[in-house]
A and B are shown apart, each in its own frame.
Chain A
Amino acid sequence: MSAGSVPSGYEVNDPGYPIPQENYLTNSKGILSWAFTLDHKRIGMMYLVGVCSAFLLGGLLAIGIRLHLFAPDGILFNNGLFKWLAPDKAPNDIYNQVFTLHGAIMVFLFIIPSVPAALGNFLVPVMLGAKDVAFPRLNLSSFYLWVCGAVFFVMALLASGLDTGWTFYTPYSTTTDSSVILATTGAFVLGFSSIFTGLNFIVTINTMRPPGMTWFRMPLFLWATYSTSIIQVLATPVLGITLLLLIAERTMHIGIFDPEYNGDPVTFQHFFWFYSHPAVYIMILPAFGIISELISVHSHKRIFGYRFIAYSSIAIALLSFIVWGHHMFTSGMSPITTIIFSALTFSVSVPSAIKVFNWVATMYKGSISLTTPMVYAISFIFLFTIGGLTGLHLGTLATDLHLHDTYFVVAHFHYVMVGGTVVAFLGGVFHWWPKMVGKMYSELGGKISAAFVFFGFNLTFLPQFVLGSRGMPRRYATYDPEFAALHQMSTYGSLILGVGLFVALFVLLVSLFKGKKAPANPWGGATLEWNCTSPPPFYNFDRPPVVGDPYEFGNIEWDAESDRYVKVEPKRQIVPSEKPADSPAHASE
C-alpha cells in the first residue's frame, strides 16, 4: 500500500495497515462517555464486565454449595458464622437459598446474556460489516435493564433470600415467605433486556448487511446469534407473563396457579418450561456459533458443511419450542402427552449432533494450531457431547422417571451449560480478546487455565452422574453417607475448576498491562472483524469493508517477518465443489 492511500487523520505506524489514531476505547474519555455510550462495542464491554461479575457472585455461591456438601450432614452452613448472620434460619434453609440464588443468578444474569449480549454486541455489527446495531439506544437500555435486574436479584438476596429453586414452581413459590416478588421482578426485567438484545440483532442482521454480505456469506456466529434472537423474541414474553401472573398470584391470589384458590400448578410448569426449554437453547446456540468460528479459524480450514450448520441452528430454534414437556414427565400429564414429548425431544438432538459431526469433520486434515481458544473449543466438543447424550437418557420416558430430580439431571445440565456454554464463552473471550482490547495474552497461561477448567469440571460433574443414577436426589442439604466419597470428589473438582477460572481472569487482566500489541489478524481468520484494526475504530471500519468468503483460508498466510497473518495470492486453485453456492464469483453477477 502506498502512503498516498492513507486517509488524512491516520498515520502509518503499522506496516501495511493504517492505524487510526483513535479507537473505540480512546475516542472519548471519562466515565460518562461510557455510561451514555451508544457504541455497541462499549456496550458489549460493559456487558462483559457485568456478566463476569454475576458469574463471580454465582460462582462463590456454587463453591458454598459444594463446601456444604463435603460431608453427609453438611459442613459450611452449619458453621456458627451463619447462625450469626441469619439467626432465624436453619442450615438447611440457608442451603436452599444458596442453591436457588446460584441457579437464578447463573441462568438469568450470567449465562443468558453472556454470549449474545457481551460477545454478540461487540461482534455482530463488526462481523456483519455494519457501523452499529440497528437501535443503539435500545441496546443501551437493554444494558441498563440488565443492571436493574441484577439489582433486584441482589436485593432479593439481601432481603430474605429466595428458596424456590430457579424454577419458581408453584404452589411453593406462592406460599414461601422468601423474596419471590423481588426475584421474579428481577427476572421479568431481565427478560425485557434479553428481548431488546434479540430484537436488535434480528433487525441488524436483516437490514444492515452491507452490499455483498448475502445470508450465506455470513459467518456462522451470525447465524447462531440470529437463531438465538428468534428464540429470545418468541419465548421470553411468555416467561414475562408467567412471572407477572406469579406476582399477581402472590399479591392478589388470582387463583391461576395456586391450588389454594383453585388454580393449577401444572399450568405454571407448562408456562414456565415453554420459555425455559427454549431458553436453554438461548444459552447454547451462541456457543455453537463461537465453536464454529473457533474450530474453523484455528484449523485453518473451511468449515465443513456450512449450510448444514447454518440451517441446524434455525432447526434447533424452531424445534426447541415443542419439547418443553420433557421437564414435566412426572408432573401429571397424560401418558400420551408424555410419549409425544419424549419422541419430540429426540428430534432436537439431531441438529445438535449434525453440528458436532461437522466440527469434527472440519478439524479432520486441518492444520490445527493448538492455541488457547482452540483448546477450549476442543474441550467444548468433548463436554457438550457428554451433556447432549445424557440429555437423551433424560428424554427417554422410562429412564427419566428414575433420573428426574436426581443429580443425574444436575450433571446433565452442567455439562451442557458449563461444559458447553461457559467453556465456549471462555474460548470466545480468548479468541476475540486481542480484537476487543488490542492486547495479546500469555498463551501458556491461557492453556493452563483451559487445562484446569477441563480437569476440574470433569472431576466435579462426572461423579454426579453416578450419584444421580444411584438415587441421590437434587436440592438436598444432607445425604446418605454412602454418597460421601463421590460428593467429596465433586467438591475437590469444583475447587480446581474455580482455580482454572481465576487463572483465566488473571491471564486476561495481566495482558491489559503487559500484553504485546495485537495485530489486526492474530489468528488468521477470514471474517470481517479481522479486517479492522485491533481494537476497532469507532465506526468499526474506516472504509466499508469488502465482503468475501468468511471461511476461505487459502490466501491467508503466516508471515514470520512481520509476525502477523497476511493475505497472499491464492496458493492453490479452489476446487469448484469446495466453494459455497454463492461464492463471490456468483454473487457478483
Chain B
Amino acid sequence: MATTDAGLASDAHDKPGHGHSDHGHGDHDHDHPSYLAHHFDTPEQQFDSGKLGMWLFLVTEVLFFSGMFCAYAIFRSWRPEVFEGCSQFLNTKLGAINTGVLLFSSFTMAWGVRCAQKEQHKLLTVMLATTLSCATVFLGVKAIEYSHKWHLGLLPAGLFSYDPANLHPEGGPNYLAWICAPFIAITIGVAIWLVVSFLRGAKFQFECAKPLFVVCLFFFVGVGLGTILESGADKEHSSHDTVAVSDAHGSEPGEGHAAVEGHDSHADAVASTDAEPATDHSTDLALIERLASDSTNTGLKADLEARKMQSELASGGIVYDVVDDTSATVAHAEDNVLRPSRAGVFFSIYYCMTGIHAIHILAGIGVMVWLLVRSVRKDFNHNYFGPVDYVGLYWHIVDMIWIYLFPLMYLIR
C-alpha cells in the first residue's frame, strides 16, 4: 500500500486540469468588478442567486398572505350574507382607482427594469419616480377610505361601533389628520432638503430631492382624489340600509341578494325599498343589532347555553354528545349562541389584509427610494441591474395581491 507523501488535502489540489486558476485570497479580486461580492465568481452567479432569493422571498410573501386568504375563505363560506352585505360599505370607485394606479405602477416598474438594463439613467429615475408616485397616490386614497370608515365606526369586531341611526357621531379624533400628519412632516422635510441642496449647489442631493418631492406631493393628490369620490358617500349609505333591510327580512338568501344586486343603480335600490313597506325604524334596529352591534350581547346567558355550545363545538368531531348532525360546526350554532358582532369579522379581515398590504406598499416605497438614489448615482449598468429587477418582482407581487384583494373585498355584493 503506497501512501502518497502528500496529505489528502493537498493531494486533491494537485490533480491536473482543474478549471480554476489557483488564487489565494490576496489576489482574488483582480477580476472582480466593484459590484461583484467577494464570494461570487461571476456576475451571472450573483444575479442568479439574487433572483432565486427574491423568488423564494416572494413565495414566503404569498404564503404569508395565504393565511389571511384562508381566513377569508373560511369566514365567507360560513357567513356569505355578512360578507356580501358588508362589502356595500366599501367604495368600489376608490378601489377601482387604486387598482388602476397599481397596475400602471407595475408597468412603469417593468419599464424601469428595462431602462436599467439599457443604462438609460435619466429615464430610470423618471420611471422609479412615477412608480413611487403611484404608490403614494394609492396610500392617499387608502387614507381616505380608512379614515372614513373609522369615523363611521366600521372597525374590527371588538371595536365595531357602527350605528346607522347616528352616522356621524360627535367627537372622536380626526383620523384623516392623524394619518396625513407623518406624510405632511415628510413632505416638509423633503421640501427643506430640496431648497437647501439647491441653495448649497449640492447637485446630486438636489437631483434626488426633486423627484422625491414630487412623489410626496402625489400623496395629497391621492387624498384629494379620494375625497372627491368619497363625497357621494351619503347617498350610498341610504342604500346600505336598504340592502340590509331586505336581507334581514328575507331569510331566504335569494331575496337579500336581489336587493344586493340592485345596489349599483340607485333607482333599483329605491325600488326594492318601495317593495318592502316594512322599512320602519324598528326593523332597521333589529337588523343593525344582528349585523353590527351585538357586542352588547356578550356573555353566554346561561350555563345551559354554554353547554349547548360546547356540544355544538364538539359535534362533527369525535366526541359526540347530543347532536348527530355531522356537518354541524360552530358556524351553524344558533344565532343567539353566536354572540358578538358579525359584521366586525368582515372588517377585521378587511383591515388585516389591506393593512398588511399597505405595509408592503410602504416597504416597497422604502426600497424604491433607495433605488432612486442609486439610479441618480448611475449605479446600474447592463451587467448590474439586479436590485432594480428584484424590487420590480417584489412590486409586482404586491400589485398581484391587490388584484386579488380588490374583487374579493369590493366586488362581492
Interface of A toward B, CB cutoff 8 Å = 1, 5, 7-10, 14-18, 130-136, 138, 195, 199-200, 202-204, 206-208, 211, 233-238, 240-242, 244-245, 248, 252-256, 259-264, 266-267, 271, 329-335, 338, 397, 401, 520-521, 530-533, 537-539, 542-546, 548, 556-557, 559, 564-569, 571
Contact = CB atoms under 8 A, between A and B. Distances in A.
B26 interface: yes
B45 interface: yes
Nearest to A556: B8
B12 A271 contact: no
B24 interface: yes
Nearest to B79: A262
B67 A207 contact: no
Contacts, number: 246
A16 B156 contact: no
Contacts of B65: 241
A175 to B, nearest CB: 13
Interface residues of B, number: 79
B3 A266 contact: no
A130 B48 CA distance: 15
B45 A207 contact: yes
Contacts of B1: 557, 568-569, 571
Given A263-B345, A333-B317, A568 B2 contact: yes
B318 A401 contact: yes
B241 to A, nearest CB: 22
Contact of B157 (A262, A401, A532): A262
A208 B7 contact: no
Nearest to B337: A259
Contact of A207 (B4, B37, B52, B159): B52
B188 interface: no
B266 interface: no
A521 B298 contact: no
B69 to A, nearest CB: 10
Given A1-B11, A207-B48, A569-B2, 10 more contacts: A1-B14, A134-B49, A233-B60, A240-B64, A254-B344, A256-B345, A331-B317, A335-B317, A531-B12, A567-B4
Contacts of B49: 134-135, 203-204, 206-208
Contacts of B273: none
Contacts of A130: 39
B235 interface: no
B25 to A, nearest CB: 5
Interface of B: 1-15, 18-20, 22-26, 28, 37-40, 45, 48-49, 52-53, 56-57, 59-61, 63-68, 70-71, 74-75, 155-159, 295, 298, 313-319, 326-327, 329-331, 338-342, 344-345, 348-349, 351-352, 356
A178 to B, nearest CB: 20
Given A15-B7, A264-B74, A532-B9, A242 B39 contact: no
Contact of B71 (A200, A261, A267, A559): A267
A303 B348 CA distance: 54
B226 to A, nearest CB: 24
B313 to A, nearest CB: 5
Nearest to B314: A332
A16 B10 contact: yes
Contacts of A397: 318
A209 to B, nearest CB: 10
Contacts of A136: 37, 39
A339 B3 CA distance: 61
Contact of A262 (B12, B19, B155, B342): B342
Given A131-B39, A254-B158, A262-B340, A7 B12 contact: no
Contacts of A255: 156-158, 340-341, 344-345, 348
B411 to A, nearest CB: 22
Contact of A206 (B23, B52, B63, B318): B52
A318 to B, nearest CB: 15
Given A7-B24, A253-B156, A237 B4 contact: no
Contact of B8 (A132, A207, A567): A567
Report the 8 A-B pairs with minimum CB-CB distance, sorted nearest first.
A253-B158, A255-B157, A567-B8, A16-B7, A254-B348, A241-B67, A332-B317, A132-B39
Contacts of B338: 262
8 contacts: A134-B53, A208-B40, A234-B60, A245-B67, A245-B71, A254-B352, A539-B39, A546-B15
B10 to A, nearest CB: 5
A200 B10 CA distance: 30
A18 B57 CA distance: 41
Contacts of A134: 39, 49, 53
B330 A565 contact: no
Given A9-B26, A253-B158, A335 B326 contact: yes
Contacts of B68: 241, 245
Contact of B24 (A8, A132, A237): A8
